[in-house]
Amino acid sequence: MLNGWPRWDLGLLEAVNLGLSHPLLTRAMLLITDKHNWFPFIAAGVLLLLLAGRRLPRYHGNVFQRRNPRMVVLGLLFCVALSDPAAYQLKKIVNRTRPCRDDAVSVLLDCRLEAAGRLSFPSNHAANSASIAVFLALVYPPLALPALLLAFLVGFSRVYLAVHYPLDVLVGWGIGGAVGTLVFLFLRKPLGSMGLVGFANRFRYRQSVREEQPAGPWTRLEWNSLDGFPVRGWHLPGSERLLIFVHGLGGNMTSRVPLAEELHRRYGWSSLLVPLRGDSAHPVPATSGGVLEVHDILGALAFAVRMGYSPQNCILYGVSMGGSAALKAAALAGDLMPGVVVAHGAYTSFFRSAVNRLGRFRAYLLRFLLPPRAAANLGTFDPGLYAGFLPSTVGIVYISGEKDATCPPSMGEEFMSRVSGLRVRVLKNEVHPGFSNACSLELLDAFRDIQDLRLHQGANAGNGAS
């Protein structure tokens, strides 16, 4: 041992510092070890992540699309904020002098860098670079090799330039690796969620959501929304009864393909999948939260009539935001009024549902993050008011999950107090409608009851074949 430190530590330092000495390698190590040279690359990476953060994580796809970029940036900040002071505090406790600042050691080496500070153990450069590298490797596995290689080069540069002993770097890597792993575990859930900013961005930018192309008898059709926007939806021909599906904020029109196909198998129903604003098949990139989506629904109803379906044989099925918009659209439909409206997990008040889901503080923060016009429109949007205008000849069904924290069964009771003849169906053990419960057995059972509803009388115009 040399002054309490292992002899191999100094021997390895000499081997790297002197044995590998070369002018080109020295120039490269000086570039790598200077943290200021990394700032432009770090800033560019953060900017790219924040720009990517306008789009939501995808439910499937490659690992880069499944992460919340804003949480990645936060995780990187946490890594440096934890690893740097941890290494520095240990430095003060251990009080080891840098080899290039130790008169007895520096004469044995080629000290190529005037390092700031006297303390050596452990290396802050190694700790910080390792925490970032390990965190990135866990978040984005395809980046593991280049990230870990860069962390190695940073640590190697500190030994090559004689500003740290190898043991300083090894311990720094250990601290950084532990910090990066802990930060990843702490942020694992938020890394895969959209967050408040991501949710608010739905009202600004087109989002990435799961979309699967229907196969078999489905046909891609084009029509216009009531306010003139060309859209492309999917049609499954069948009987004279038509299910018109209206998706919610977090999904898209193809999310109910399995449900439509099962209802077609059981009852022979036709289906029309309607893209709303923000869907990839709609030219308007951002949603309005149900306020303007009414134009999309009414355009779909008009198109269904042109295909030969009678409005009275149409079942308008909307989930979450789509359910609220469907109630408003039906009230304004006039001669296009559907025979049945099914609102699944629809909200009576957008911000009340936000409080149920997020709590009062985060709901208030969401209101602040939303575009002002969207926040104002959502604040005054009252689907229950429109539902109250629907005539008794229209069958109205409100479906809610027993464990729906966003739009609980009590919202169905509120609708019932304002709408005569409303039927409320509570699905046991179900949560808010989404991809996971899009075609659950309980939902199919609820549609069996809907299938038996007596639609108000109207002429049946053909079998709806396109």
Closest C-alpha to 278, from 201, 382, 372: 201
Q: Are 272 and 243 in contact (CB under 8 A)?
A: yes
Fold of the domain built from segment(s) 7-193: Vanadium-containing Chloroperoxidase; domain 1 (1.20.144)
What is 101-161 written as a DSSP string? G-HHHHTTS------SSSB-SS-HHHHHHHHHHHHHHHH-GGGHHHHHHHHHHHHHHHHHT
Domain boundaries for CATH 3.40.50.1820 within the chain: 218-451
The H or E element containing residue 242 is: strand 242-246
pLDDT of residue 88: 92
Fold of the domain built from segment(s) 218-451: Rossmann fold (3.40.50)
DSSP, collapsed to helix, strand or coil, labels residue 221 as strand
* Burial 189-218, CB ≥16 within 10 A → b, else e: ebbeebbbbbbbbbbbebbbbebeebeeeb
pLDDT of residue 466: 29
Backbone region of residue 433 per phi and psi (left: phi > 0; alpha: psi in -120 to 50; beta: other values): beta
Q: Are strands 270-274 and 230-236 parallel, antiparallel or unpaired?
A: antiparallel
Q: CA-based angle 441:447:450, to the nearest 5?
A: 155
Q: How far apart are CA 434 and CA 463, in angstroms?
A: 31
pLDDT of residue 105: 84
The rounded average pLDDT for each run of 10 residues, N- to C-terminus, in the chain (466 residues) is 75 88 89 88 86 70 78 93 94 89 83 83 93 94 93 93 92 95 94 84 80 85 95 94 91 89 94 92 90 95 96 93 94 93 92 91 92 92 89 88 89 81 86 84 88 51 35
- Tell me the backbone φ, ψ of residue 261, rounded to 5 degrees: -70, -35
Q: CA-based angle 175:40:89, to the nearest 5?
A: 25
pLDDT of residue 370: 93
Whether this prediction's pTM lies above 0.75 is answered by yes
Domain boundaries for CATH 1.20.144 within the chain: 7-193
Closest C-alpha to 269, from 241, 297, 231: 241
Contacts 24+ apart (CB under 8 A), 293-297: 293/246, 293/321, 293/322, 293/325, 293/329, 294/226, 294/325, 294/328, 294/329, 294/332, 295/225, 295/226, 295/227, 295/229, 296/225, 296/226, 296/229, 296/231, 296/246, 297/244, 297/246, 297/325, 297/326, 297/329
Find the length of the chain: 466
**Residues 401/402/403/405 CA torsion (nearest 10 deg):** 70
Q: How far apart are CA 304 and CA 463, in angstroms?
A: 11
